[in-house]
Chains A and B, each alone.
Chain A
Amino acid sequence: MIKRKDIFTKFTLLSLLVAMAFSMTAQPDGIKLSQPWVFSNSFEKGLFKAEMSIYDNSLSGLIIIKRTGETFRAVFVSEIGIKYFDIEIGSNETNDFTVHYILEMLNRKQITAFIEDTFRMLTMSFGETKKESSFLCDGSGNMVKVTKTQNHGKFRYDYHPNFGQVNTMIQFGFLKKTLINIELSEYDYLSPSLIVAKQKKMQLVLKQIEQ
């Protein structure tokens, strides 16, 4: 009898915990979610003030991001005009990545991987939010959290259910360790005006200047 009561108590507690966890709650049926985006379909190009920290060093200058047909191209130049890198990434499903130029001192595996991961995530195609993905809305209904398996690890992004603007993107690695975290804010109708991408000892901050 006592044993059964214990089981009942545990079950009740578990139910409560599950209910609390989903109080943010699962996507209600019948609500049409917007397609998530970082750069809207109308985005053609943007000029950003850029600061890149690599361990104890930092680089600053301007990054121009331009949509060129099916791809995005990003060029980072210093204030005085020295080119740091020139990369291209496909916005299609293959998401091909090409380094057209990178300054020798930046041509290190960890640095190029950080640049690649950041721009892959920024320009990725999100696709439809499917019910199979795990997703939750917060209490106010202003955020949708989606978690997918991608690149052999979990990938999570948060976005506004009505407007589709993505606010956070996180790529997790082994044991849910955060590999890269991107915060996006101050959106206009084309793109975020502030992008902060962080990896363990590297960071890229972009502040939009003009379009």
Chain B
Amino acid sequence: MKKYRLFLLFLLFSSGLIAQQTDSFSPMQDVEALKVEIKKVSENTQSIQSDFIQEKHLSMLEEVIVSRGHFLFRKENDVRWEYSSPINYAIVIYDGKFRIKNDEKISEFDIRSNALFQQINKMIVTAIRGDFVDNPEFEASFFESGKQYRVNLKALNKQVAEMLAGIEIFFSKETLAVERVMFIEPGEDYTNIIFNNRKVNIEITDKQFELTND
């Protein structure tokens, strides 16, 4: 169950263009102004479509597991997060259901029957409205460089903190789109998610949130 919560957490900050963090960050002075701007962008975003690259860095093994996929978001809270490499795996939140497709097996959960899924649903709506930075479950601090804003989130929930030492979200200063999200674990391992080919406010149909064995 915890994995769904974390998964949705990074969906909250979905999508943008690839950018490399090349410049240094310093603490932001006017945080409230940034929050207002993020909220405004979120309110104007009806849908998002994006590809992503997920890099799991395993420091002791000196290995990086690279996964690739595609995701869709449509207001109010329809989500499809799908991996195409190295394995086929998809999570869809649509029509009050939480569905997972693992190879050819589809599992379904009713969001309303489960307090956690209700919370997830609420979190997504909150995120789209742009006030995730005020989420009471995280302590947020804000930084900026020449090209990007960076929000560092530290989990206040003990169970989440056990899995995550922190989350770093990188926004484009130009578009306020999220370009990269880093999930930092206790120790030196981390997951880096880079978004690319982002399109906003395009038409996304109901059919695109259906999971079938095809």
Which residues of A does B touch, CB under 8 Å? 45, 47, 49, 51, 60, 62, 64, 66, 68, 73, 75, 77-83, 86, 100-101, 103-105, 209-210
Contact = CB atoms under 8 A, between A and B. Distances in A.
Contacts of A45: 63
B40 to A, nearest CB: 29
Given A62-B65, A75-B61, A80-B6, A104 B162 contact: yes
Contacts of B58: 64, 75, 86
B67 interface: yes
Nearest to A65: B61
Given A45-B63, A75-B58, A210-B86, A81 B2 contact: no
B60 interface: yes
Given A81-B56, A81-B183, A64 B61 contact: yes
A103 to B, nearest CB: 7
Contacts of B21: none
A47 B65 contact: yes
A79 B67 CA distance: 8
Contacts of A75: 58, 61
Given A60-B102, A82-B2, A83-B189, A100 B159 contact: no
B185 interface: yes
Nearest to B162: A104
B15 to A, nearest CB: 16
B83 interface: yes
Nearest to A45: B63
Q: Main SS of the interface on chain A?
A: strand
A82 B61 contact: no
Interface in B159-187: 159, 162-163, 183, 185, 187
Interface in B1-46: 2-3, 6-7, 10
A62 B85 CA distance: 12
B152 interface: no
A77 B61 contact: no
Interface residues of B, number: 28
A199 to B, nearest CB: 22
Contacts of A82: 2-3, 6, 163
Contacts of A209: 86-87
B51 to A, nearest CB: 16
A85 B193 CA distance: 21
Task: Name the 3 nearest CB pairs between A and B, nearest first.
Answer: A81-B191, A80-B7, A79-B89
Interface of B: 2-3, 6-7, 10, 54, 56, 58, 60-61, 63, 65, 67, 81, 83, 86-87, 89, 102, 159, 162-163, 183, 185, 187, 189, 191, 193
Nearest to B8: A80
A104 B159 contact: yes
A49 B3 contact: no
A78 B100 CA distance: 13
A64 B193 CA distance: 19
A47 B86 contact: yes
Contacts of A79: 67, 83, 87, 89
Contacts of B60: 73, 86, 100
Contacts of A77: 56, 65
7 contacts: A49-B87, A80-B6, A82-B2, A101-B187, A103-B162, A103-B163, A209-B87
Contacts of A81: 54, 56, 67, 183, 191, 193
A105 B158 CA distance: 13
A68 B60 CA distance: 10
B163 A68 contact: no
A47 B86 CA distance: 10
Contacts of B10: 80
A64 B64 CA distance: 10
Contact of A62 (B87, B187, B189): B87
Contacts of B193: 81
B168 to A, nearest CB: 14
